[in-house]
Structure 1
Amino acid sequence: MTLGWGQIMRLGLVQAALGAIVVLTTSTLNRLMVVELALPAVLPGMLVALHYGIQLTRPQWGFRSDTGGNRTRWIIGGMAVLALGGLGAAAGVVLMQTAYWAGLALSVLAYAAIGLGVGASGTSLLALLASTTAPERRAAAATITWLMMIFGIAVTASVVGAQLHPYSPALLLRIVAIVAAGAVLLTILAVWGIEARLTAAPEPETLPFRQGLAEIWQEPRARHFTIFVFLSMTAYFMQELILEPFGGLVFGLTPGQTTSLSGAQNGGVFAGMLVVGIMATGLKRGSLRAWVIAGCLGSCAALCLISVIGTLGLLTAFTPLVVALGFFNGMFAVAAIGSMMALAGEGRGRREGTRMGLWGAAQAVAAGFGGLAGAALVDLFRLARLGDAHAFGAVFVIEAAIFVAAALMAMRIMAPRRIQPFVIAGE
């Protein structure tokens, strides 16, 4: 048996829950450390890089779910660890105001827990999707579940941004606790009973993890796609930790306003993914490669314009350009994810989880590297006395150049594979 559309939608709720917790650490808590606590941008950059670095364990989580069965327990258990990490990260920021070193120590532990939780839950979820979805539905399933993740991110950022004004530490902790508890409950309700009805117990696996991973790395398509994921996701995540501080330092926006800005950006991502889904699956316009290239080049243009308006002080253009950046990011991301889901089932059998883990690890390393590099470059440019607008603007231009490089790589390595249409007949 394979997943029906209703079950795919249910699993997408887990992605929404993942995004809801993670966005608080990469947007709200990041901005509080840089602006309200006046800490160097590289500090939250290193914390976020830590949680992405921990996700190097993703291939092993995928391998375990491939060979041990019961992906459901890894999904729920990982979400519980993620929720505890998110709450601990918020508590760490609050504690830094009165006891810096104790707060930093708590933050390190919390961000490590976030990395473990995302790795275990996210990789097992994608492996379950890849292994139980019919081939003609995989790209569509990827689109649906990622749209739901972006929806969860956008809604959480917007609602938290509205509720966090006026800011207080007690209010922050209360909001994060509600989001974390809701995410765990939603995950349990979403996955309960699905796997048991669809999958049989796996056959015993004698191949060691390292040998299994090495076999996949020898597959040319898997190897080239891993490199592409790393390059493109480095560009995708470079602005993640600096966009909200940019709004606060250059345009004087409040914590609630910049959190809402993050929600608007992810709303743009949602719209970009939706447009690609409609155009490519409904109207059958464009290939995965074409949408990836268009998204990368559009993101490049948006970043260059954001850099310009920062130096000119054009606040009215800031939000529309951030939404445009999100829109083109969404176009690129959903096409790349569609390719990922399609490729997961190729090559040696019963290795969907390991392949998704490999690409997830490449994405995590790129996210950590990109976020940390962006934050560190801002600090270096500010130390060079470029001024806030020029320091941030220079990093946005560097990110734009990497997007161009990713587009060029996509032209060379990606086949012009079309996204499969949404096939509802026979549901």
Structure 2
Amino acid sequence: MNLGWLSIFRLGLVQMGLGAIVVMTTSTLNRLMVVELALPAVLPGLLVALHYGIQITRPNWGFLSDQGGHRTRWIIGGIVILAVGAMLAAAAIPLFESSFWLGLALSILAYALIGLGAGASGTSLLALLATATAPHRRPAAATITWLMMIFGIAVTAASVGAFLDPYSHALLLRIVGIVTSGAVLMTVLAVWGIERGVKAGPPPEPMPFREGLAEIWSETKARHFTIFVFLSMSAYFMQELILEPYAGLVFGFTPGESTSLSGAQNGGVFVGMLIVGIAATGFRFGSLRSWVVAGCLGSAGALTIISLIGQLSIAGLVPAVMLLGLFNGMFAVAAIGSMMALAGEGREAREGTRMGLWGAAQAIAAGFGGLLGAAAVDLLRQTIDTPQAFASVFILEAALFVAAAVMASKIISNRAYQTGRAIMPGE
């Protein structure tokens, strides 16, 4: 039996919990390190890169899901590890003030756990979706679950921003504790019993992990799409670690205001995803390829606006960031729809391995992009004014989005995804 719509919505709650925890570690804690603790932006950049780098193990989780199942235990276990990592990362913030090295050591441990938890839980969830969702429902399932994740990110960022002022370390720990414990409880309730009601397909032929991964990499579509994911996600995540410090250093935003800015951005992402989900799936308007290209080019334009208003010292950062989120969302959900459709192509019973491969490419790109953006800002601020330093990085990110749009126009089939699903043999 395939997943019904209710089960898909329940799995979306897991994505919501994942997004709620991760957004605090990549936005709020990042801002506190750079602005309140006056640490170089490259430090949180390295920590976030560590948590993404560890997610290179995602193909392993997907392969294990393909081989043996039992995804529920990996989903719940992963979210628990992620929650513990987030609490330790928050605890490291006050520790930095008394002992930098102890704070750094605890942060390294925390972000390593965050990477392991996100990789285990997220990949197992995607493998369950890819294998237990009927082919014609996969794009819609991807849209629903990612919209719920973005909703969780936006609500968490906005709520944390509202309650975090006036800032104190004790208040930070209370808020992170509430969010993480709520996410764990919601995940357990959401996934309990779902896997037992899903009829598993025939298991793949047993083979070593390296051989199974090499088999997937030999598929031209899977290989080219992996490269596209890396390029586009490098652009997508380059501003992640510098946008809130940009708001604080250039526009004078408080910690609460800058955290709310992240909420505004992810609110825009939510709207962008909703637009594509309704247009492409409900009304069959436009191909997923055209939505990917439009999202990339629109993101490039929004980044150009963000870079200009900082140099010209004019208002409008919040609407510009919301516009960036809108086009980011359009790009992301169209790319995810293509990913879910492609996961079922090629050798059967390898959906988890393909999702793991693309998840690893995304994670590596996220770490690389975030670290590159943070390091570039630190380096440029040594030689040019702060607004110009941030603007230069935003323009570089815009250029990567343009390159991703060009690549998408060549590797994503317009005909195959016109209706949001892969064309089956004989159609």
- TM-score class, shorter: over 0.9
Query: Superposition pairs for residues 246-261 of structure 1, below 5 Å?
Result: 246-261=246-261
Residue of structure 2 equivalent to 1:330: 329
Map Cα deviations across residues 212-267 of structure 1 (whole Å, 9 max, x no partner): 00000000000000000000000000000000000000000000000000000000
Candidates 413, 416, 421, aligned match of 1:415: 413
SS in 1 for 2:80: helix
Aligned to 2:100: 100
Percent of aligned pairs sharing the same letter: 72
Q: Hey, what's the Cα distance between the residues in 2 that align with 1:418 and 1:122? A: 28
1:248-397 equivalent positions in 2, closer than 5 A: 248-315=248-315, 317-384=316-383, 386-397=384-395
| SS at structure 2 position matched to 1:167 | coil
SS of 1:174's equivalent in the other structure is helix
SS in 2 for 1:97: helix
TM-score, normalization: structure 1?
A: 0.97
Deviation for aligned residue 1:100:
1.0
Q: How far 1:206 moved relative to its partner?
A: 2.3
Identify the residue that residue 12 of structure 1 maps to in structure 2: 12
Letter in 2 for 1:185: L
Secondary structure of the residue aligned to 2:381 is helix
Deviations 1:282-334 (A, max 9, x none): 2211001000000000000000010000001112x110000000000000000
Give 1:167-246 correspondences, 5 Å limit: 167-200=167-200, 203=203, 205-246=205-246
Q: By how many angstroms is 1:65 displaced?
A: 1.0
**In structure 1, distance between residues paired with 2:391 and 2:379:** 13
Structure 2: give runs of 5+ residues left out of the alignment: 422-427
Deviations 1:151-203 (A, max 9, x none): 00000000000000100000000000111101100000000000111134864
Q: Which amino acid aligns with 1:406?
A: A
Q: Distance between the aligned counterparts of 1:200 and 1:226, measured in 2? A: 27
AA in 1 matched with 2:397: E
Does the CA-based 8 Å contact 2:204-2:349 persist in structure 1?
Answer: no
Partner of 1:84: 84
1:419/1:31 Cα in 2 relative to 1: closer, same or farther (>3 Å)? Answer: farther
1:418 positional shift: 2.1
Any conservation in 2 of the 1:158–1:259 contact (CA below 8 Å)? yes
Gapped regions of structure 1 (runs ≥ 5): 422-427
Q: Structure 1 residue 93: deviation in Å?
A: 1.4
Using the alignment, how far apart are the partners of 1:205 and 1:17 within structure 2? 34
- Residue 162 of structure 2 aligns with which residue? 162
Aligned 8 A contact 1:69 1:201 in 2: no
Could you tell me how far 1:279 is from its partner in structure 2?
A: 1.1
**Distance verdict in 2 for CA 1:79–1:382, change over 3 Å:** same
Give the residue type in structure 1 aligned to 2:413: A
What residue number does 1:2 align with?
2
For 2:55 and 2:379, locate their aligned partners in 1 and report how far apart those are by CA, in whole Å.
27
Sort the Cα spacing of 1:103 and 1:151 in 2 relative to 1 into closer, same or farther, 3 A.
same
Counterpart Cα distance in 2 of 1:204 and 1:348? 9
**Distance (Å, rounded) in 2 between the aligned partners of 1:337 and 1:410:** 13
For residues 17 and 139 of structure 2, the distance between their equivalents in structure 1, rounded to whole angstroms, comes to 21
Q: Distance in 2 between matches of 1:201 and 1:337?
A: 23
User: What is the rounded CA distance, in whole Å, between the counterparts of 1:247 and 1:265 in structure 2?
Assistant: 13
Q: Please say if 1:402 is aligned against 2:407.
A: no
Judge conservation of contact 1:77–1:117 (CA < 8 Å) in 2: yes
CA contact (8 A) 1:239 1:396 kept: yes
Query: Does the 8 A contact of 1:137 with 1:420 survive in 2?
Result: no
Q: CA RMSD in A?
A: 1.0
Structure 1 distance, partners of 2:353, 2:94, is: 38
- Corresponding residue number in structure 1 for 2:424: none
